[in-house]
Chains A and B, each alone.
Chain A
């Protein structure tokens, strides 16, 4: 197994892109960490180099055993990481209001980063085992529970960004695992109805919307709302029962939408009543930072100014005014992309995006390239984690996604995230190298 063999079969494109991306990231962390007043560098880039070297060791380790063993031990891995995350949440000392860090004196790690991988592994294993029954709606329950438990724990920390990334990863894996599309769409629709209606109500109230709107009226007359959802639920239940006697597909077309709308409306009332006004406003600001230009909106405005002012070729390495004069917040971690876009311009930003695109594309290719279901799903899940990080982070800094504290994989400073990413790349490489075995 060792020797020429392992390096010969190594996924050169994947690992090459990863190395270039991380090196690019370290260069930008150097720039972002440079203090022009004191003419010194805070030295974060040195730490990131160390994390990268350790990460390479992790990556190599993850490449050299039979990855299917991960599936065999998936429940233990999952249980162990949940346990660590739980301990962190309960006993961790809060840093910036979040108990997400487990401190070991000279360094700390963020166990919730590894939770993402553990969840993907356990989901891949479960979906492999239930390959044939997954079309059944009930089979969606257990994967959802696998995700819901860590999400609730992480929300308790509270770390909204990390918790949020599990949801799209879950849906991607369920979809790729063969779940019925109508089931997935129904769940998403219920969630949308349940959230959008009370949010619109709050938004209109906040923005001082005058005049009558059906949505405002609905929340004034809750009895009407309950009646509508009750009637719909009755129709859904009766058609569902009829479905057992007359197996006709048009009944399916009635009870599924009826259930979706009915449940969505009912949950919207629950959300409307349970959530406090300020909580709903906080969600609104999360969705639209412009509502709060001095709070979280400030960061996004500065980020957009940094990116926009970069132009095509940028202001030059170490020359970004937004970066170097400190207008850009969190510039080494969550806002590393604006540093690239400001100092190296559109050209640099496109190179960064292209590197990320190559990695994601290679992940999907690896998932397609193996005949092993577990391997394919594992590769899909890992690719999904990486992709949604990229989407949420870049989407946030360019102002088209809500503000969540998620790093940009490969580029952002941070040991835990880099370790998770390098382990992920190691697993992808492992699957890639072993694709001929199955």
Chain B
């Protein structure tokens, strides 16, 4: 009896504890279900997004960069294509897609005769990277090779390819400094540009037009939506967004003139600027030595930039806008303007040139002319480039006014050309000299400055633009390289550049006429005689700059030429200004003027002075 009751009591205790166990189990099941509700129903959307991110691996489709044409472009009918793109492919792979390293090496071995690469280096390179990430096996692979790989996917498993159009610079170094080149974004550029939608893998214009107009040229990348598994193997793909090509750009450059100027500078370091005075359009902008942008963008040539940078002749330097030199006798124009405008002289005023000028002082100093000119007026002083005349003139005007007019003429200002890198020229001042050398301004400095020597330094583009100002009766336009911007299909003009006034210098008609006439004399019977053979009346001024260079002997002088055609006493729509600079060219008359002559000849051939020919002075048809 007792036995049974004990057993009953124990069973009762067991029953009670089972209830506790049952409640615990039920609560735990409830917690599991609650968390399930939380994950699937409450946070379901978030996790769906994460699942999508897991399996989607978007591959960018690079947009074709806009093409660049020269000024004669007429919607694909004529004109020269300066920069285009050619199709190319990148071969890529994800190392972890292969079952084993041996399998990967086997495939690479089979691929090697097709594209050619160093297996050991490639393997070492692969080991360095993340094996789950896309590895660029080879860039610039031809379409034929891709076809072979695509039709034998079983032989080349896990090898992928992507579109990667390559920029083609059709005229290599002729256009190099104007157009520039592209390259991968570096870290600094990325940090600045990422807010504007640039991606780290994109290319960007590094210099020149490519940089300045990158926003137009780059277009918009598309992407392929790829479904991948955990090993990054592709399960399926579709086009997520098609790429939009970049806008096409028409330059103001005339390729024929550019090439002629480029050829004319063959073998020397120097620069040629050809400007249309009435608009500020740049017809040619040549700097030599140059480089081939195609070599720079080629990935096989990684050392080329360093190599070019260490080249003592500085091929990267755009000498038209990025370097400044003493203007030498071309500056006599400024001295004349200063003297005439301040009414310190008049055109018919004569000085006698005995071959030298003696500056009286504690010790007399002689300043020489390159020859004995005898008695000259201002026209012929400009024409024959007589230094003694300008020593006298400079002394008569005084340094302050020369500096002031040099500045009025914009020699120490930017021409605001639409490519990056332009520097301004330099005009000294008394205060500057005191600060830099601890010396006051001497009369000797004035004499040097009046013929463009000494501390003065100008860029060829600024000098050319000053000439435009004189031709335009004092109005100076902003220089520019881009004429029009078209949509990718070349059907619609998005933007077309208008002339933009940079400044206006009020110069008297007497001043303008005197300068133009003097420069005309220079061609007719002075230092610019080379140009007298042209079928268009030209005017010019040569310059020969002595330098403080270490390279002495014969080549210690830079050669300048600054001129325009056709000569006219009134501003004309068609006036073209040419500025030639040759480093260590020795004499302006013999080195720079012939270059200018070839450029003008090409301009005539291209029909730039057709209006003049209609007046009967020139028959363009005959010349062509």
A-B contact pairs, 23 of them (CB 8 A): A37-B233, A175-B20, A176-B21, A178-B14, A305-B47, A307-B40, A309-B44, A309-B50, A309-B52, A310-B44, A311-B48, A312-B41, A321-B54, A324-B229, A325-B235, A327-B54, A327-B229, A349-B40, A357-B29, A364-B22, A373-B14, A380-B18, A387-B25
Give B contacts to A, CB under 8 Å. Answer: 6-7, 10-11, 13-15, 17-18, 20-22, 25, 28-29, 31-33, 35-37, 39-41, 43-44, 46-48, 50-52, 54-55, 227-231, 233, 235
In-complex Cβ contact of B35 among A175, A387, A398 (8 A): A398
Q: Are A321 and B40 in contact (CB under 8 A)?
A: no
What is the CA–CA distance of A321 and B235 in the complex, to the nearest angstrom?
Answer: 11
Give A contacts to B, CB under 8 Å. Answer: 36-37, 131-132, 172, 175-176, 178, 302, 304-312, 321-322, 324-327, 341, 345-346, 349-350, 353, 357, 360-361, 364, 367-368, 371, 373, 376, 380, 387, 391, 394-395, 398-400
Q: Are B32 and A391 in contact (CB under 8 A)?
A: yes
Residue of B nearest to A395 (CB): B32
Least distance between B234 CB and chain A CB atoms (Å):
9
Q: Are B25 and A364 in contact (CB under 8 A)?
A: yes
User: Which 6 interchain pairs have the tightest Cβ spacing?
Assistant: A308-B47, A326-B230, A309-B51, A325-B229, A308-B39, A309-B48
Q: Are B48 and A322 in contact (CB under 8 A)?
A: no
- List, in ascending order, chain A residues with CB within 8 A of B21's CB: 172, 175-176, 364, 380
* Interface of B (DSSP majority class): helix
Q: Are B14 and A308 in contact (CB under 8 A)?
A: no
What is the CA–CA distance of A19 and B40 in the complex, to the nearest angstrom?
Answer: 27
Q: Are B18 and A131 in contact (CB under 8 A)?
A: no
In-complex Cβ contact of A308 among B6, B25, B43 (8 A): B43
What is the CA–CA distance of A418 and B31 in the complex, to the nearest angstrom?
Answer: 26
Q: Are A321 and B14 in contact (CB under 8 A)?
A: no
What is the CA–CA distance of A10 and B74 in the complex, to the nearest angstrom?
Answer: 93
In-complex Cβ contact of B28 among A131, A132, A322, A391 (8 A): A391
What is the CA–CA distance of A361 and B22 in the complex, to the nearest angstrom?
Answer: 8
Least distance between B202 CB and chain A CB atoms (Å):
29
Additional A-B contacts beyond A321-B52, A322-B54 (20; CB < 8 A):
A132-B6, A175-B21, A176-B17, A304-B39, A307-B40, A308-B39, A308-B51, A309-B44, A309-B51, A309-B52, A311-B44, A312-B40, A324-B229, A325-B55, A327-B229, A341-B40, A357-B29, A368-B18, A387-B25, A400-B31
- List, in ascending order, chain B residues with CB within 8 A of A341's CB: 36, 39-40
- List, in ascending order, chain B residues with CB within 8 A of A322's CB: 51, 54
- List, in ascending order, chain B residues with CB within 8 A of A373's CB: 10, 14
Q: Are A178 and B40 in contact (CB under 8 A)?
A: no
Q: Are B228 and A325 in contact (CB under 8 A)?
A: yes
Q: Are B14 and A176 in contact (CB under 8 A)?
A: yes
Residue of B nearest to A322 (CB): B51
What is the CA–CA distance of A399 and B34 in the complex, to the nearest angstrom?
Answer: 12
Q: Are B54 and A36 in contact (CB under 8 A)?
A: no
Q: Are B47 and A307 in contact (CB under 8 A)?
A: yes
- List, in ascending order, chain B residues with CB within 8 A of A368's CB: 14-15, 18
What is the CA–CA distance of A391 and B28 in the complex, to the nearest angstrom?
Answer: 8
Q: Are A360 and B40 in contact (CB under 8 A)?
A: no
Q: Are B40 and A310 in contact (CB under 8 A)?
A: yes
Contact status of A346 and B36, CB under 8 A, knowing A321-B51, A325-B230:
yes
Least distance between A361 CB and chain B CB atoms (Å):
8
Q: Are B22 and A304 in contact (CB under 8 A)?
A: no
- List, in ascending order, chain B residues with CB within 8 A of A398's CB: 32, 35-36, 39
Residue of B nearest to A387 (CB): B25
- List, in ascending order, chain A residues with CB within 8 A of B46's CB: 308
